[in-house]
Homo-oligomer: A and B are copies of this chain.
């Protein structure tokens, strides 16, 4: 993904690679997420996509984000009690969350070691491990 140019054409490729039919709206939404490489809420995605002129409805934004999740193109972050954030980075990584500002940054998973987690029941499998470091300003 280094030096990737997030053109609309490349977005279409990316979508096809995840079995997603690349429509205009889907390309715009993917572009909003991937060109920024930030953690965005549905509302923010909607605002970005409709900056120039209204072209994507709320229903489509939510439908599309859910589709991207299912197809594992993006990842969901549950860190703020009031809204979900979407993360174009699906490589294993963790997060630092600044409580006061809401700013979120990545921690590379390579650096971090987590040991001593208990074994799971036989019929269960790990979907993911979310590690969130909540930080705030010293007083």
Contacts and interface: CB of A to CB of B under 8 A. Distances in A.
A124 B98 CA distance: 9
Contacts of A125: 135-138
Contacts of A2: none
Interface in A21-52: none
SS of A interface (majority): strand
A124 B138 contact: yes
A108 to B, nearest CB: 9
Nearest to A83: B81
Size range of the interface on A?
35 or more
B137 A123 contact: yes
A115 B113 contact: yes
Contacts of A128: 134
Contact of A117 (B76, B99, B117, B133): B133
Interface of A: 76, 78-81, 84, 96, 98-99, 107, 111-118, 120, 123-138
